[in-house]
Amino acid sequence: MEKLIITACICGAEVTKEQNPAVPYTVEEIAREAKSAYDAGAALIHLHVREDDGTPTQSRERFALCMEAIREVCPEVILQVSTGGAVGMSAEERLQPLLLNPEMATLDCGTCNFGGDEIFVNTENMIREFAERMKTRKVKPEMEVFDKGMVDAAVRLNQRGYLENPMHFNFVMGVNGGIGATPRDLVFMAGSVPAGSTWTVSGVGRNQFPMAVMGILMGGHVRVGFEDNVYLAKGVPAASNGELVAKVVRLAGELGREIATPAEARAILGLTGGVYHDRKRK
Ligand code: KMH
Ligand code: ZN
């Protein structure tokens, strides 16, 4: 089986220090959490950033500061910027970090209820526009899919030339308004992507580790981190993102799946663009 790529979603846009004091807000805290995840075995960091008071922002300048700070402490790690941002942000606001030529970015493939009155809006025109901007800049998209219909939407965009093969999906499972997080749901999602695609699974909340085990066993990849879950076990807050990643490394070890280094993850995902490679070529 292919080696396991572990993605760490270290920060998110919604989770707060009230939920877990280790949630990073400042540039230094974000670099600290990225390093803890990388040291534990994460090859890829899914990045949101905050103002010092915790307010989510998609500011290009703030992303630049955080990305540089992460590169200082873990130069090899793959950086994937969020273009999802936080609920209610405009498309242009969300697109700002693409200007920094990251290796990867998220491409949210549909609109989803996030609970209460919150709606995460991604119209078809927005998705096309985001996809085109990523293609122009040679940024590899990770298709964020909260339901099976969003896989189909991505496949349609691929057929129309907006998205290149092979596609990489992230099944975000267990959010209010999206698909559940049962083994049957994951088998359904994994069976719905085109042949040759890669996928990772993000179980939200208490679904994080059950879905991680399923992903490990099924030959997919795994995302863990504070964005999706702040607990190491029931009632036990994680001291760092690194603790969450280390748990996945332990589970994978027990199940006989090796962990991909960033270089191996780049090969699996076919990453060739972005600042990382530009600097290497110089
Ligand atoms: N914070 C959510 C509204 C992404 O990063 O692309 C969107 C999100 C998805 O986290
Ligand atoms: Zn995100």
Span 192-203, mean pLDDT? Answer: 98
Centre of ligand 2 from the C-alpha of residue 282, in Å? 31
Other CB atoms within 10 Å distance of the CB of residue 56: 21
Q: Give pLDDT, residue 278.
A: 77
Whether the per-residue pLDDT at 276 is higher than 90: the answer is no
Centre of ligand 1 from the C-alpha of residue 110, in Å? 11
Span 124-132, mean pLDDT? Answer: 98
Q: For ligand 1, atom 1, which residue shows the shortest CA distance?
A: 86
| Alpha-carbon 21 to chain mean position | 21
Centre of ligand 2 from the C-alpha of residue 105, in Å? 10
Radius of gyration for the alpha carbons in the chain, expressed in angstroms and rounded? 17
- Indicate the pLDDT class of residue 11, thresholds 50, 70 and 90: very high
H-helix or E-strand spanning residue 29: helix 27-40
Q: Tens digit of pLDDT for each residue in 48-68?
A: 999 999 999 999 999 999 999
CB 181 within 8 A of CB 174: yes
Extended beta strands in the chain, E state: 6-9, 44-47, 49-50, 56-57, 78-81, 104-108, 112-115, 118-120, 140-145, 168-173, 198-203, 221-224, 231-233, 236-237
Q: Which atom of ligand 1 is nearest to the CA of 82?
A: 5
Residue to substitute in 9, 82, 83 for testing ligand 1 pocket (most ligand atoms within 8 angstroms of CB): 82
Q: For ligand 1, atom 7, which residue shows the shortest CA distance?
A: 84
Distance (Å, whole) CA 146 – CA 57: 22
Q: Give pLDDT, residue 279.
A: 77
Q: Which atom of ligand 1 is nearest to the CA of 144?
A: 6
Residue to substitute in 10, 95, 108, 109 for testing ligand 1 pocket (most ligand atoms within 8 angstroms of CB): 108
Distance (Å, whole) CA 204 – CA 229: 6
Q: Which atom of ligand 1 is nearest to the CA of 108?
A: 6
CATH class of 6-281: alpha beta
Q: What is the pLDDT of the chain when averaged over all its residues?
A: 97
Q: Which atom of ligand 1 is nearest to the CA of 87?
A: 3
Tokens of 38: 């990388």
Q: Give pLDDT, residue 101.
A: 96
Distance (Å, whole) CA 145 – CA 154: 9
Q: Which atom of ligand 1 is nearest to the CA of 120?
A: 3
Centre of ligand 1 from the C-alpha of residue 174, in Å? 14
Ligand 1 pocket list (CB less than 6 A): 13-14, 82-84, 86-87, 106, 108, 120, 144
Three-state SS for 249?
Answer: helix
% of the chain with per-residue pLDDT over 90: 96
Q: Give pLDDT, residue 172.
A: 98
Q: What is the maximum alpha-carbon separation in the chain?
A: 50
Q: For ligand 1, atom 2, which residue shows the shortest CA distance?
A: 86
Q: Which atom of ligand 1 is nearest to the CA of 48?
A: 5
CB 264 within 8 A of CB 270: no
3-state percent helix, strand, coil for the chain, nearest multiple of 5? 40, 20, 40
Span 134-159, mean pLDDT? Answer: 98
Whether the per-residue pLDDT at 282 is higher than 90: the answer is no
User: Can you give the pTM of this predicted structure?
Assistant: 0.97
Distance (Å, whole) CA 242 – CA 207: 18
Q: For ligand 1, atom 9, which residue shows the shortest CA distance?
A: 84
Ligand sitting nearest the alpha carbon of 7: 2
Ligand sitting nearest the alpha carbon of 144: 1
CA quadruple 210, 201, 6, 144: dihedral sign: negative
Q: Give pLDDT, residue 280.
A: 74
